[in-house]
Amino acid sequence: MKDEGRPKNILEHIVGRVALAPQAVAACDPAPITYRELARESDRLAAVLAERAGRPSPVVGVHADRGNRLLIALVAILKAGGTYLPLNPDLPAPRLSAMVEDAAPDLVLTDRAHRFADLTTLPLDTAPAQRDTAAARSTPGTRAADGFRSLLYTSGSTGRAKGVLSGQEGLRNRLVWMGDALGIGPEDRILQKTPISFDVSLWELLWPLMNGASVVFARPGGHLDGRYLHGLIRDRRITVLHFVPAMLGAFLQANPGHGADPALDSVRLLVTSGEALTGELAAEALDRFGAARLANLYGPTEASIDATWHLVGPRDLRGPVPIGRPIAGMAAHVVDADGRPVGPGHAGELWLSGAGLAEGYVNLPEATAAAFLEHPPLIPADRVYRTGDLVRQREDGVLEFLGRRDRQVKFRGVRVELSEIDSHLSRYPGVNSAHTLVRRFDGGSRLVAFVEPAPVVLAAAGDPDTPFFRLPAFAAELRGHLAQLLPASVVPGHFVFVRAWPTGTHGKLDESRLHAHLDDRAGAARPAPDGTGREAIAGQVLGIFRKVLETEDIEAGDNFFEAGGGGSLQAVRAAQDIEEYVQRIFGLDISADASIFIHPTALELADEIERGIAARLAS
């Protein structure tokens, strides 16, 4: 990446694009906003931020749905040289409160639907006249943007989310590399669908603006609806989009077929990251997206979104897709347990160094010192980040991802510390200890929490005499407890209670016996007998729910998503099975893909199916 003559910060890139094509569409949600309008509105808001925050480089929370206002807020924070703190409205209120308490923002920008108590807030619909008055007094220049930083919170093993503070230069390095390596221009339309709490959303928002392209926003919640996304890609002629592999699989299942899909022929670049990409899924994606290139990226938030990349080729379709080589400005080091470099063909932990490294964790100096090593003795770098990921380097220098050293996992693209879930559960009254694991099955995965209850809970339940047992009421209580502390997508949908933990010969937990119990239970979940009445339909739908979720721990009135179907992949599989059932029994075609999000219980879906059948028969 050559910087001679290039803008020195992200804002200068954007300002240059405003000058080149002021009337070009910068974004649409779906109302368009031009680059000139974006510049004007963000100038106004930046001036208000500088005035209301009362100090240079303010920490600014943004608590808003995706859309033009979000983009204006982000660019305004850039112009003010502030720290961008995304506060995803979909997160539980206690988790947002903990983030705000830790980050101590100077103020929070909100949209009309959201307000924060006990904080200085500024509605994103602040009157233009107020913004004009502030702008007349003070408008930050482009150099102020050198101080721009981002503060994103990730899962923490202690039960406390960690705020990763990243500087301007690391993010700029990542975004400029992407333009150089993958190409982008004014003719491109980038789909912004990643929730703002995830680092990928930063490149979806800023990378297009730095290169004169357009941002197209998916509607709130639309990132979970595969059929809606398919129509949006077709109608808005999207050229670049990102998927976590699990969500890519869900998208393809929601839009089945063979060969290039004409509705997807505008896409020239498909990007995946967030978890391991299989060769099988890569091959299916390349088949459906036709001429699109597929780039597989890897990187933790601590390395400014992505640190390595690999352009998928034919040889990658026979196994796990590699995570590739370092991006420009970054270096990768594969080391043993003592921090000594290991050669090609040997597994080791991946350490990263270079321009993209974050400053560290907010208010956690010990965690920062443990993860970010200064002047490691055996590595040619001033500072490295220990990822905790196991990799192997091939003879050609390409890195292959092997897994984790600890209990941190990527679940549906979200970095999850399983120990954080265990910690929250273990602190709840009536719980002695807990152990959460990822249950992988054909086409998806789910989180299962094994819980050792306290004697008082066992006594109240009649002291079950089996090694594994169900406590539906207590499970619902625990699920509700976690829903107040964790994102909904990482709340376990299935709880199994144990009298005592199974151990191996050395006295350590034998996790294989937990999986063996789930294997035994999975075979018991079967669809109900066919029938044509409401109760029969509800029973059939419930049977499908149990089959897809691999559990009997769900009843006809239970919410499919709260019971473990937190990702749209399971919803797609359930919808397809329901559609096949209705076709087989009633000879009618219905679409259950959207209905399952609106009517997430078996009883509600049965009513909806009955209404749909009646309407079809009457027409």
- Pair (416, 517) in one structural domain: yes
Q: What is the pLDDT of residues 120-146, one digit of tens each?
A: 788 887 544 454 555 544 555 666 778
- Pair (492, 460) in one structural domain: yes
Q: Is residue 238 part of a domain?
A: no
Q: Is residue 551 part of a domain?
A: yes
- Pair (417, 464) in one structural domain: yes
- Pair (543, 516) in one structural domain: no
Q: What is the pLDDT of residues 251-310, one digit of tens each?
A: 998 899 999 999 999 999 999 998 888 888 999 999 999 989 999 999 999 999 999 999
Mean of pLDDT over the chain: 86
Write down which residue in 522, 556, 591 finishes a domain.
522
Of the candidates 558, 550, 548, 559, the residue with the CA atom closest to the CA atom of residue 523: 550
Q: What is the mean pLDDT of residues 93-107?
A: 90
pLDDT for 619 equals 59
Residue with tokens 């992505």: 306
Using the 8-state DSSP alphabet, how is residue 163 labeled? Answer: E
Q: What is the pLDDT of residues 507-548, one digit of tens each?
A: 567 888 888 888 776 555 444 555 557 788 888 888 888 888
**Is the C-alpha dihedral spanning 397, 398, 404, 408 positive or negative?**
positive
- Pair (559, 492) in one structural domain: no
What's the 3-state SS for 268-335?
CEEEECCCCCCHHHHHHHHHHCCCCEEEEEECCHHHCCCCEEEECCHHHHHCCCCCEEECCCEEEEEE
pLDDT for 127 equals 46
Lowest-confidence segment of 12-21, 178-187, 349-358, 541-550 by average pLDDT? 541-550
Q: DSSP of 189-214, one letter per residue?
A: EEEE-S-TTSTHHHHHHHHHHHTT-E
Q: What is the mean pLDDT of residues 377-402?
A: 93
Distances (CA, A) of 445 to 268, 287, 536: 29, 24, 28
d(CA 284, CA 547): 25
Which tops the pLDDT comparison, 342 or 533?
342
Q: Is residue 335 part of a domain?
A: no
- Pair (553, 511) in one structural domain: no
- Pair (506, 557) in one structural domain: no
Total domains in the chain come to 2
Lowest-confidence segment of 357-366, 403-412, 457-466 by average pLDDT? 403-412
Which tops the pLDDT comparison, 82 or 538?
82
Write down which residue in 472, 495, 522 finishes a domain.
522
- Pair (483, 542) in one structural domain: no
pLDDT for 461 equals 85
Q: Is residue 259 part of a domain?
A: no
pLDDT for 575 equals 81
pLDDT for 594 equals 59
DSSP H or E stretch at residue 161: none
Q: Is residue 318 part of a domain?
A: no
Q: What is the mean pLDDT of residues 43-69?
A: 90
pLDDT for 126 equals 59
Paired with 121 in beta bridges are 108
- 262, burial (CB in 10 Å: exposed 0-12, middle 13-18, buried 19+): exposed
Q: What is the mean pLDDT of residues 35-62?
A: 91
Using the 8-state DSSP alphabet, how is residue 529 labeled? Answer: P
pLDDT for 530 equals 56
- Pair (515, 541) in one structural domain: no
Of the candidates 249, 247, 253, 400, the residue with the CA atom closest to the CA atom of residue 315: 400
Write down which residue in 502, 522, 542 finishes a domain.
522
Contact 570, 549 (CB under 8 A): yes
pLDDT at residue 472 tops 50:
yes
- Pair (515, 591) in one structural domain: no
pLDDT for 381 equals 95
CATH number for position 493: 3.30.300.30
Q: Is residue 518 part of a domain?
A: yes
Which tops the pLDDT comparison, 81 or 95?
81
- Pair (437, 477) in one structural domain: yes
Which tops the pLDDT comparison, 57 or 324?
324
pLDDT for 1 equals 55
Of the candidates 304, 73, 276, the residue with the CA atom closest to the CA atom of residue 172: 304
pLDDT at residue 315 tops 70:
yes
Q: Is residue 455 part of a domain?
A: yes
pLDDT for 113 equals 60
Q: Please, which pLDDT band fits residue 168 given cuts at 50, 70 and 90?
A: very high
Q: Is residue 320 part of a domain?
A: no
- Pair (487, 542) in one structural domain: no
Lowest-confidence segment of 2-16, 81-95, 304-318 by average pLDDT? 2-16
Which tops the pLDDT comparison, 471 or 506?
471
Range of 142-151, 165-174, 437-446, 497-506 with top mean pLDDT = 165-174
Cα 516–chain centre separation: 29
**Structural domain that includes position 573:** 534-618
Lowest-confidence segment of 227-236, 406-415, 523-532, 550-559 by average pLDDT? 523-532
CATH number for position 610: 1.10.1200.10
Report the percentage of the chain scoring pLDDT > 70: 88
